[in-house]
Amino acid sequence: MTARVHVVGAGVAGLVAALALARGGHAVTLHEAAPVAGGRCRALPDGTDNGTHALMGANHAALRFLDAIGARGGWVEPEPEGLPMLDLADGSARRIAAAPMAWRDPALRPPGMSAGGLFALLGMALPFTDRPVGVALAKHPALLRGFVEPLTVAALNTPVAEASSARLGQVLRRLGSAGAARLLVAREGLGPDLVAPALAALRDAGATIDLGTRLRALTSADQRITALHMAEETITLDPADAVVLALPPWEAAKLIPGLRVPERHAPILNLHFARRGAGPVRFVGIVGGLTQWVLVRPTGVSVTVSAADAESEDSAEALAPRAWAEILRAAAAFALPGDWPEPPPPCRAVKERRATPRHAVGIAPVAPRMVMRNMALAGDWTWPGLPATIEAAARSGEAAAKAIATRLPRPVAGAASLRRVNA
């Protein structure tokens, strides 16, 4: 009998693990509690994204996955000449390069950059100390405000007063190589440019996809998972079967007694404005206001507010006029094409209250890759080398698939092709 791998959770980590195993010739079933795949990188029923998700050129695992599902062409670089950044305090508008090598051009240097500031950044990039980012850059307030704080909040989803300089250093170390700092966003959205092609690739590889079914409990014996108790049925595992658990930390902790997981999380607020207009995809940063990053597509305008502890408690009706007024200033500062009416268009708020763990100073719990002889963990929170990002999720999915594959019987040659024919 052919061994089957049950991948539980269809976020990025689960999708990556499932595809790697299915293309490796293994029988795979992907289970997801929600009616749609994607996890925190999902498309909403109206076609918009749950949030603005960007990749960098340094995100090699995430880009490998896009290549694997044939979706790389849907991700575009909206600001190849440097990130447009507007400071609301003084109205200054400039382009900033994320890559240190580009700072040789004074026009692309972050505000407040000096020899001392550069050494402070280098100090964070070295894995020797850990302290709050705000403390590490306290002597360089302009650099902190205009560059390091936006980067920290975006990458770590944690305010600089508590964010770990060691975790930020993991990000900084990856921005030095050529092309590493290229910013990429989905041209049409996460649905057509990530989730749909991922599901199509899985089906083509012979995987079974089971959406809308929640895992309620696990049964184990002799350090092996023997049964999955789903919402409507119990799946008994054969001795050769295996499981990849690709769930958020709080869900994994419910299922695995004694598992150490991050306990503190930070929210992300997303505002989606129904403004349509012609023009290319644009991506603009704003400092000193409610909005942090603005993604402009022909189909709408999306705002991301990370580390949104206070803002996530407010209503869309209260937030929309504030955000739209700031967007109008950015549109004027950078001559964004199209009509920008003064009254805010219809706005939808999406709040991810536990978007990521809080990446504070200190040693975070390190999840084991294999928690049972036939069960591996995946998820952005399980990858210790990066904060909880798409890249961390993709790397964890690759690692979980590799770990499980070593425990499975060698697949029969041509098995994947036969499953595609019979699907």
Whole-angstrom distance, CA of residue 182 vs CA of residue 53: 14
pLDDT digits (tens, 9 = 90+) for 282-334: 999 999 999 999 999 998 999 999 999 999 999 999 999 999 999 999 999 99
CB 244 within 8 A of CB 404: yes
Contact 352, 52 (CB under 8 A): no
Give yes or no for residue 80 having a pLDDT over 80. yes
Confidence of residue 367 (pLDDT cuts 50, 70, 90): very high
Query: DSSP 3-state assignment of 284?
Result: strand
CATH topology of domain 4-49+189-263+362-422: FAD/NAD(P)-binding domain (3.50.50)
First to last CA, the chain: 18
Q: What is the pLDDT of residues 251-279, one digit of tens each?
A: 999 999 999 999 999 999 999 999 988 88
Spatial separation of the C-alpha atoms in residues 415 and 412, rounded to whole Å: 5
Judged against a pLDDT cut of 70, whether residue 59 lies above it is answered with yes
Structure token pair of residue 30: 């992907």
Helix, coil or strand: residue 52: coil
- The model's confidence at residue 414, banded by pLDDT at 50, 70 and 90, is low
Mean pLDDT of 109-138: 94
- Angle at the Cα of 23 (from 18 to 28), degrees rounded to 5? 40
pLDDT, one tens digit per residue, over 399-412 is 999 999 999 998 86
CB 142 within 8 A of CB 148: no
Residue 292 φ/ψ, nearest 5 degrees: -120, -50
88, 44, 261, 137: which is closest to 152 by C-alpha? 137
With a cut of 50, say whether residue 421 has pLDDT above it. Answer: no
One-letter identity of residue 278: A
d(CA 35, CA 23): 24
pLDDT for the residue 177: 72
Please report which residue ranges of 50-114 form alpha helices under DSSP H: 60-68
pLDDT tens column, 209-237: 999 999 999 999 999 999 999 988 999 99
b/e code 230-250 from CB counts within 10 Å (16+ = b): beeeebebeeebbbbbbbbbe
Both structure tokens of 177: 């190589």
The whole-number average pLDDT for the span 127-151 is 95
In angstroms, the CA 4 to CA 417 distance is 16
Residue 276 identity = R
How far is the C-alpha of 271 from the C-alpha of 312, rounded, in Å? 11
Q: Where are the domains of the chain?
A: 4-49+189-263+362-422, 104-177, 265-357
Work out the mean pLDDT of the chain and round it to a whole number.
Answer: 94
| 361-376 average pLDDT score | 93
What confidence tier does 417 reach under pLDDT thresholds 50, 70, 90? very low
What pLDDT is recorded for position 412? 64
Where do we find the tokens 């670089």?
77
